[in-house]
Amino acid sequence: MKCVVGIDLGSTTTKALLLTEDREVLGRGITNSRSSYDVACAVAREEAVTAARFALLEGRLRELPDDVRSALQGGIGHRQPIEDLLQEAFRLELYLDELARLREEIFSLLEAPYNVEWRPVLEPAVIEILDAAEAHAPELFLGEAERKSDFFRDIAGAAYIEGAERISSEEGIPFERLLALYDRAILDVETSLEQRSFADLLRRAVARIGTGANENGSTGHGAALRRVAEDVAGEPIEELSFVGTGYGRQTLPFPKESIRSEILCHGRGAHRFFPGTRTVLDIGGQDTKAIQVDDGGVVTSFQMNDRCAAGSGRYLGYLADELNLGLHELGPLALQATRKVRVNSTCTVFAGAELRERLALGEKREDVLAGLHRAMMLRAMSLLARSGGISNQFTFTGGVCKNPMATSVLRDLVDDNYSEGGSQITMNIHPDSIYMGAMGAALFALEDLEAGKAGILPTFVQGAETATLETPQTAVAEE
């Protein structure tokens, strides 16, 4: 398979998208933006390659004779389609590998001189915490337990903190010392690029779910699944061109000629998914962009909040932290409001103070949140007005468009200010809106390829054999 690669290094997440020469999406990948941008880009790219291989695997499995496929499905004893179950089992095996890496790092820290005094009590506590996390892992991926994130840091962190709190309460071990071990170790894990074999992880996934094959998988219908898995794992994926973009593009490990403006990429990406797009609103983790494009997806004007995180995803994240909620819980809670409390501040910092003040005055959480959501979207509407207003069609992109309250408020504001004569502005939202920037970057990479420009590998690809990467990058300030 031949493809080009677009990578969008955002302040919160890093996205990668593989695009075929026929402009078809081959795979998408996402990870949290880490302290090492090289590693973040490499992991997002690997996630996209993995997604591409699983798409290929799904196609190959559907080509199997009906009786073989039925026997395989019956062999695993699970209602979930075998391709979906395989992917979850693959994720489980990857998670267990990363958990083992975390264990190694914590044990290494326990050897440090400053932990000598506490090691006799910390070591058995850590073993108990990590053993419990490992034992619970199958329930998170293959069972009924809820998994609130797909990022290793979030899943492992939640399990570790839960265990540390319990042990601290029961045995009197200082919680801060247990947590400090995790906080230091996770940084080492996230800046270490481990080379893992897709084929090996897939073999382990096949073995884990069970298919009615014998131990070696050489007989029965399980052997057919193993053959398909081996074929897919061995399928070459040739990356012909790379382009990077995003909030942190100045520090991307790309040649300068392979970097494009995020404004251009988001405009192109939105136009690719919705060709009728003329106005784009992108609300990401750290900034908001109002973009006008022509009928070819070329940017004609734009405005962005380049000095402050207010009105961005970080604004919502701050509110979620104040309420001790997950970011995904914020929008549904705000939708329960019976009224929108008028708020005075749209500043990310002062919004938290106003939230506390309103709650102290007896206002309901959902009503205050509804008001804060409205204040945020009014700020976005101001940017849109300065960029040239809203023209049909209007495309809302970025992680914030997954927030149902933000989307609802925006829809109302667009209708109130731009709908005329009963005609409503078409508002587009795509399930993969977070990949719009990466899509635009991939389209630019494809244009470079078609123009005959030599594809230059980014440093994270050139140095993929390096086990640990340096982390010289400095995070860009929020405000």
Count of the separate structural domains present in the chain: 1
More confident residue, 317 or 244: 244
Assess whether pLDDT exceeds 60 at residue 308. Answer: yes
Contacts of 88 (CB under 8 A, 6+ apart): 80, 141, 142
Summarize the confidence of residues 441-448 as an average pLDDT.
95
Query: Buried b / exposed e across 381-411, counting CB within 10 Å, b at 16+?
Result: bbbbeebbebeebbbbbbbbbbbebbbbbbb
Question: Among all chains, which residue has been given the structure tokens 């014998």?
Answer: 214
Q: What is the model's pLDDT at position 440?
A: 96
Q: What digits encode the pLDDT tens for the residues 208-235?
A: 887 544 444 444 566 778 888 888 988 8
Question: Do the domain assignments include residue 335?
Answer: yes
Question: Do the domain assignments include residue 461?
Answer: no
> Which of 339-348, 373-382, 423-432 is predicted with the least confidence, judged by mean pLDDT?
339-348
> Which of 45-54, 197-206, 312-321 is predicted with the least confidence, judged by mean pLDDT?
312-321
Which CATH number goes with the domain that contains 291? Answer: 3.30.420.40
Q: What is the model's pLDDT at position 402?
A: 86
Q: What is the model's pLDDT at position 421?
A: 72
Phi-psi group of 77: left, alpha or beta (phi > 0 → left; psi -120 to 50 → alpha; rest → beta): left
Summarize the confidence of residues 280-308 as an average pLDDT.
88
Question: Do the domain assignments include residue 313?
Answer: yes
Q: What is the model's pLDDT at position 96?
A: 96
Question: Do the domain assignments include residue 450?
Answer: no
Summarize the confidence of residues 399-418 as an average pLDDT.
92
Report the relative pairing of strands 2-9 and 13-19 from DSSP bridges: antiparallel
Q: What is the model's pLDDT at position 227?
A: 85
CB of 292 closer than 8 Å to CB of 322 = no
The pTM assigned to this predicted structure is 0.84
Q: Read off the pLDDT band of 315 (50, 70, 90).
A: confident
Q: What is the model's pLDDT at position 214?
A: 40
Question: Do the domain assignments include residue 347?
Answer: yes
Question: Do the domain assignments include residue 387?
Answer: yes
Give percent above pLDDT 70 in the chain.
89
More confident residue, 28 or 304: 28
Report the relative pairing of strands 238-245 and 25-32 from DSSP bridges: unpaired
* The token pair that represents 320 in the structure block: 């979620």
Phi, psi of 172 (to 5 degrees): 75, 15
Q: Read off the pLDDT band of 309 (50, 70, 90).
A: low
Neighbours of 349 (CB within 10 A): 14
Question: Do the domain assignments include residue 91?
Answer: no
CB of 260 closer than 8 Å to CB of 442 = no
Domain housing 409: 275-429
Question: Do the domain assignments include residue 399?
Answer: yes
**How far, in Å, CA of 459 to CA of 113, rounded?**
36
Q: What digits encode the pLDDT tens for the residues 386-399?
A: 999 999 999 999 88
Taking the mean position of all CA atoms in its chain, how far away is CA 196? 20
